[in-house]
């Protein structure tokens, strides 16, 4: 059900989400620096980076690349908008997929071998996390009987208690989506430079900034999905989200980067296994 | 209106000075300057506290750090990397070899300094320079982003 207040709330979310996402990634970088015994950049560093990138010279390789990056940004904006509108989880999933596919198409539209390899790896990553994400949404459905976010949010008790294993499986999926180690294999996110910058190699200046902003929207969306696991009180939700994100940062710093073969060979069996066991637990109750 | 645009320019200048991503090219020689340059990125010196990230991709970078002697072969690589960087960009030449050719200046294959090929903004002296002076040079180069704004 869409009301005026709902609509305004979603619009506010669209405006505030990138700022929140930037702040979260700033805190992320500061914490990572602390783990590594460094001082680290200021918390507002992501803002500086993006403003700088937006003000740089435009070097567009071809027009297809520009279209792809625009679609990627718009789809993640739309996904956040729909999420805060309290819309359907499946609809959000499909909107998000359009963005993911467009991002891959953008990386494939240039002849650079690094970008091509990055695109192939990104494809593998999408292939790995999409089933887990979809099955998680089915998990919400099995318990609450609805894919509708505004309905799921009205559920009396935290959903984490009835789907703890799905939470862990979703953690795998979203580590991939957040481009955290061990799964930052497509864009070499944290400066490992194995394939230069992978799927981001051929983006420069404003385009790179748009990819970055789209990523912030995704961070907010991901945290939103996690928030569904504990939506009974705001304080508890914030604590739960902080713990989840801290765990992501910790894993990012603790583990080395994997290969795509390792990712598929481990994330699928473990993730799907956990989800199926949880389904059995839910249906058996 | 001009106040707003001044404010806007100010924010852009600050962002550029606060977030210079670097790309590093070693043109050859003994690797002493490279080791010192990489030392700047370690937790001991931590270049990231100034917002400097080793982008490793000229398309993303704002500062080009050049070390080593430029010769007839690698001048094309240097030119290519410089051309791939999008403006505004600055070049820091690190160590005697990149500054002037150093002890290899009179060799038949050496051009004598990176500034023979691309415009260099800051020269960091030393053989090799200390990490402290490399950081100083990089941050001095970054100030040029602010200057360019004012000149416009």
Residue B104 placed within a domain: yes
User: Given a cut of 60, is residue A282 above it in pLDDT?
Assistant: yes
Would you give the distance in Å from CA A147 to the centre of its chain? 19
Which tens digits make up the pLDDT trace of A18-77?
Answer: 999 999 999 998 998 898 888 889 999 999 999 989 888 888 888 888 899 999 999 999
Residue B152 placed within a domain: no
CATH code, domain with B43: 3.40.50.12280
Burial track A7-26 (b if 16+ CB lie within 10 A, e otherwise) = eeebeebeeebbeebbebbb
The token pair at A37 is 């015994």
pLDDT at A190: 64
Nearest to B49 among A39, A57, A196 (CB): A39
pLDDT at B151: 47
For the segment B111-117, the average pLDDT, to the nearest whole number, is 87
Bigger pLDDT: A198 vs A244: A244
Name the DSSP class of B71: B
What size, in residues, is chain A?
285
Calpha distance B31→B89 (Å, rounded) = 24
User: Given a cut of 70, is residue B28 above it in pLDDT?
Assistant: yes
Torsion angle (degrees, nearest 10) of CA A110, A115, A120, A124: -130
Cis preceding linkage at A71, omega within 30: no
Question: How many CA atoms are closer than 13 Å to the CA of A5, on its beta-carbon side?
Answer: 0
pLDDT at A185: 80
Contact check, Cβ <8 Å, A57/B88: yes
Residue A2 — very low, low, confident or very high, per pLDDT cuts 50/70/90? Answer: low
Nearest to A52 among B19, B54, B87 (CB): B19
Number of domains into which chain B is organized: 1
Residue with tokens 């956990």, as numbered in its chain: A274
The CA distance from A37 to the nearest CA of chain B, in Å, is 6
Q: Is A37 left (phi over 0), alpha (psi -120 to 50) or beta?
A: left
Closest-CA residue to A245 (of A219, A266, A271, A263): A219
Strand (E) or helix (H) holding A97: helix A89-108
Which tens digits make up the pLDDT trace of A156-167?
Answer: 888 778 888 989
Partner B contacted by A279 (CB < 8 A): no
**Helices H, strands E: what count in chain B?**
5, 4
**Among A152-156, A205-209, B100-104, which stretch is predicted with the lowest mean pLDDT?**
A152-156
pLDDT at B11: 85
Task: Nearest chain B residue to A36 by CA: give it.
Answer: B43
Residue B39 placed within a domain: yes
Nearest to B46 among A38, A191, A208 (CB): A38
Chain A positions in Cβ-Cβ contact with residue B12 (cut-off 8 Å): 51-52, 55
Residue B85 placed within a domain: yes
For the segment B61-72, the average pLDDT, to the nearest whole number, is 90
Residue partners of B5: CB distance under 8 A and separation at least 6: none
Calpha distance A153→A9 (Å, rounded) = 15
Residue B151 placed within a domain: no
pLDDT at B152: 39
Mean pLDDT score across all residues of chain A:
87
Calpha distance B38→B36 (Å, rounded) = 5
The token pair at A28 is 């992320």
Partner B contacted by A45 (CB < 8 A): yes
Closest-CA residue to A217 (of A205, A207, A225, A228): A225
Contact (Cβ atoms closer than 8 angstroms) between residue A114 and residue A185? no
CA distances from A156 to A152, A163, A168 (A): 9, 14, 22
Q: Which residue range(s) make up the domain with B54?
A: 2-146
Residue B135 placed within a domain: yes
The CA distance from A282 to the nearest CA of chain B, in Å, is 47
User: Given a cut of 80, is residue B138 above it in pLDDT?
Assistant: yes
Cβ atoms < 10 Å from Cβ of A5? 8
User: Given a cut of 50, is residue B23 above it in pLDDT?
Assistant: yes
- Percent of chain A past pLDDT 70, that is, above it, reads 98
Task: Nearest chain A residue to B16 by CA: give it.
Answer: A52
Calpha distance B115→B38 (Å, rounded) = 22
Calpha distance B82→B90 (Å, rounded) = 9
The token pair at B97 is 């070899």
pLDDT at A200: 85
Residue B90 placed within a domain: yes
CA distances from B14 to A8, A45, A174, A176, B41 (A): 33, 11, 34, 33, 22
């Amino acid at each position: 059900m869409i009301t005026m207040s709902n609509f305004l709330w979603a619009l506010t979310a669209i405006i505030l989400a990138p700022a929140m996402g930037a702040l979260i990634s700033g805190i992320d970088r500061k914490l990572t620096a602390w783990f590594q015994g460094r001082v680290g950049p200021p918390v507002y560093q992501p803002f500086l980076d993006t403003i700088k990138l937006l003000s740089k010279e435009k070097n567009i390789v071809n027009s297809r690349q520009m279209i792809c990056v625009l679609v990627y940004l718009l789809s993640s904006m739309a996904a956040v908008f729909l999420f805060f509108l309290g819309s359907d989880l499946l609809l959000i999933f499909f909107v998000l997929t359009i963005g993911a596919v467009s991002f891959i198409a953008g990386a494939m539209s240039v002849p650079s071998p690094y970008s091509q390899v990055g695109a192939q790896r990104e494809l593998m990553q999408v292939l790995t996390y999409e089933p887990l994400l979809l099955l998680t949404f089915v998990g919400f459905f099995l318990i609450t009987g609805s894919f509708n976010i505004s309905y799921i949010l009205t559920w009396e008790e935290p959903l984490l208690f009835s789907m703890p294993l799905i939470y862990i499986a979703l953690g795998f999926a979203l580590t991939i989506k957040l481009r955290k180690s061990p799964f930052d294999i497509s864009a070499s996110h944290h400066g490992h430079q194995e394939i230069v910058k992978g799927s981001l190699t051929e983006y420069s200046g404003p385009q790179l900034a748009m990819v970055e902003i789209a990523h912030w929207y995704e961070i907010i969306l991901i945290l939103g999905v996690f928030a569904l696991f504990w939506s009974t009180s705001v304080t508890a939700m914030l604590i739960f989200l902080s713990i989840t994100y801290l765990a992501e940062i910790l894993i990012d710093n603790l583990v080395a980067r994997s290969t795509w073969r390792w990712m598929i060979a481990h994330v699928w069996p473990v993730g799907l296994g956990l989800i199926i066991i949880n389904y059995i637990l839910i249906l058996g109750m | 209106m001009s106040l707003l645009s001044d404010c806007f320019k100010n924010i852009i200048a600050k962002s550029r000075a606060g977030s210079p991503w670097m790309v590093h090219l070693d043109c050859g020689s003994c690797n002493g300057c490279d080791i010192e340059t990489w030392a700047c990125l370690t937790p001991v010196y931590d270049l990231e506290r100034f917002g400097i990230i080793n982008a490793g991709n000229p398309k993303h970078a704002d500062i080009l750090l050049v070390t080593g002697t430029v010769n007839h072969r690698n001048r094309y690589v240097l030119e290519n990397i410089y051309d791939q960087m999008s403006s505004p960009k600055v070049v820091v030449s690190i160590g005697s070899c990149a500054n002037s050719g150093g002890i290899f200046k009179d060799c038949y294959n050496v051009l004598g300094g990176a500034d023979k090929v691309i415009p260099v903004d800051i020269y960091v002296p030393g053989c090799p320079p200390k990490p402290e002076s490399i950081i100083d040079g990089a941050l001095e180069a970054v100030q040029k982003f602010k200057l360019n704004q004012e000149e416009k």
